[in-house]
A and B are shown apart, each in its own frame.
Chain A
Amino acid sequence: MTDAKRNTPVTVLSCVLLLAVYALPLYWLLATSFKSLKDVFAGSAAVIFKPTLQAYIDVWNGGFATSALNSVIIAVSTTVIVLVVAVPTSYGLARLNGAIVTGGLAALIILQMVPATSTLIPLNRLLAQWGLTGNLYGVALAIAATNLPFSMLLLRPFFTGVPIAIEEAAASDGASRWQRFVKIVLPITRNGIATVATLTFIGAWGEFLYAITFLNDPGQYPVSALLAQQMSSYGVNWPGLMAVSVLVSVPTVLIYLFGQRLLVGGITMGSVR
């Protein structure tokens, strides 16, 4: 491990091995979604096959648009709730000191680790009492609750990074507490806020446990829930399932393409320091 710039035969070999383990399955995912049913397990069609959009057409005709809309409603509402709640709270946690903040941060770290399966039973009861089972916004409320601790912990360092001198200057110009927060601090921390929004959206988009538990009618299911229950029109239709998998991954892919560095920096910063 002396040469930091050049490839040695060992690293090349290891990289190829890692690529085989990580990239090859992804290739298979994509390839299978473009295969016809008879080509799926045919050895002769492993690499060379006649691509078809049939799986995607079937998925679309199976009412994909409705589920995709459900997914969008759940993911967008969750993101809005998380931002509205987490942004002011993290700012407060960054600017205050003392026992409340220390205790609050410890509580957030602990709440962040609570398994979703543990809050499932009581949240089911709570949402039923509020008449919010069978409601997409009820699902969003629940997902936001599990997501909030992580989002707040991730956001706080961004607010801590805003120099207090800037706020002091604004205050001496007569800006109120709220004006300082909205006009000065929020624009500076937009990267952090964008990171949290993105991660929340991806998380809510892939979530299915709350959806299948709180929604009774499969017509309300988001795509992730359909995929989790492997619902397809005829038995195990692998091209169809892989096509849905590809479509479920679309937001992830977009975000990955445009914001990978942002995400990797933000996440590693928030988790292990």
Chain B
Amino acid sequence: MVTAAADRVATRRARQRAGSTLFGPKTMLFLLPGAIYLAVLSVYPLIDLFRTAFSDVTAENLLGERPFNGLDNMWRVIDDPSFGHVVLQTLAIVVIVLVVGLAGGFAAALVLRPRTRLSGVTLGAMVFVWTLPAVVAGNLWKFLLESGGPVNSVLLWLHLIEQPIPWLANGTLAIVVLGLVNAWMVVPFCALVLRAALLDVSQELLEAAALDGAAGWKVTRHIVLPLLRPVISILGVLVVINAFRSFDLIFVMTSGGPGTSTTTLPYLGYQQAFKFYEFGQGSFTATLSLVIVLFLSAVYLRMNRREQA
């Protein structure tokens, strides 16, 4: 991290020296493709989303006139009795993914720190899971958690349960399961990042601590964790954003059900628009999700800047 910062300073200086002559205003032309593409297909859509959020738009006038209707969409979305539950469910998934993802990632990073063959193979399997498309992971777990599926069979066989558990058919349980499957996919990424950070922790420091009589968990708790704090907090924000946005797993595993018991905020916006064709309400919910993500990314940007300073 230190060398990266030094590199950055060095390149910035070099650029300032040469930049004036070699990279004049015409270099700006290189920025055009990205600027235009994102302006049209990324920024404009978000402005349009905001506009639709305060307009009366259904399937009939999706492409036609979109009359403003003030805060109507907001009241309709918020007054829906299930809205409060949706917010809580979103929060539940985010918290589960954050806690299990970071704790699991840290534990895995500690375990996989020695560079042995076994740890290499284990890390390999984990990275593979992380690169797997979410559709595949969702289908796989839906199968594994079937009432007659492998998970229940194994638990029955070990006499840990009396009868099959309806993992995805019980609302509360389904939320927990979705959070855990989501964490299953995110732990490898956390483990990779934290393992790299662990390998950066100076060996001398750990040896000095050992000389002073600190051992095992104490070293981890009082020396390693504080050192990793900046990385862990930035990673935490990334995990939260990802968990909040997660859509694919919910779509594949529960479609937001049973009832609305696994619907999250982004998923609700999708359903309002493309299941009930209430595009105005869907846009309002999507705007709400967007505002939350923008807030989180502002936090991320600030942390990242502080880290680099």
Contact = CB atoms under 8 A, between A and B. Distances in A.
Interface of A: 1-7, 10-12, 14-15, 18-19, 21-23, 25-26, 28-29, 32, 41, 43, 46, 84-86, 88-93, 95-97, 100, 104, 106-107, 109-111, 113-126, 128-129, 141-142, 144-146, 148-149, 152, 160, 163-165, 167-168, 171, 177, 181, 202, 205-206, 208-209, 213, 224, 227-228, 230, 238, 241-242, 245, 248-249, 252-253, 255-256, 260, 263-264, 268, 271-273
Contact of A209 (B32, B118, B241, B247): B247
A6 B283 CA distance: 55
A59 B235 CA distance: 40
B122 A118 contact: no
B120 to A, nearest CB: 10
A272 B114 contact: no
Contacts of A129: 63
A219 to B, nearest CB: 19
A2 B270 CA distance: 50
A21 B122 CA distance: 10
A228 to B, nearest CB: 5
A272 B289 contact: no
Contacts of B192: 264, 268
B286 A15 contact: no
B95 interface: no
24 contacts: A1-B219, A11-B111, A18-B111, A22-B126, A89-B34, A92-B34, A95-B15, A95-B30, A109-B301, A110-B301, A111-B38, A111-B43, A114-B290, A115-B289, A118-B266, A119-B42, A121-B279, A126-B45, A145-B41, A206-B135, A213-B274, A263-B131, A271-B238, A272-B231
Given A111-B38, A113-B296, A164-B18, A208 B30 contact: no
Contacts of A21: 184
Given A15-B112, A144-B41, 20 more contacts: A1-B220, A2-B207, A2-B210, A6-B114, A18-B112, A25-B141, A28-B150, A86-B34, A88-B33, A92-B30, A97-B16, A111-B43, A115-B293, A117-B266, A121-B283, A122-B46, A164-B15, A230-B252, A241-B143, A245-B140
A129 to B, nearest CB: 7
Contact of A126 (B48, B252, B282, B283): B48
B52 A121 contact: yes
A164 B12 CA distance: 11
Contacts of A7: 114, 116, 118-119
A108 B85 CA distance: 33
A142 B248 CA distance: 17
Contacts of B49: 118-119, 121-122
Interface in B16-59: 16, 18-19, 22-23, 26-35, 37-38, 41-46, 48-49, 52
A206 B134 contact: yes
Interface residues of B, number: 117
Contacts of B115: 4-5
Contacts of A1: 110, 113, 206, 216, 219-220, 224
Nearest to A112: B297
Contacts of B141: 25
Interface string B260-293: 0000001101100110000100110011011001
B239 to A, nearest CB: 11
Nearest to B210: A2
Nearest to A241: B139
A113 B297 contact: yes
B234 interface: yes
Interface in B218-235: 219-220, 224, 231, 234-235
Given A167-B22, A227-B139, A22 B293 contact: no
B132 interface: yes
B108 interface: yes
A92 B143 contact: no
A43 to B, nearest CB: 6
Highest count of chain A CB atoms <10 Å: which of B52, B125, B247, B296: B125
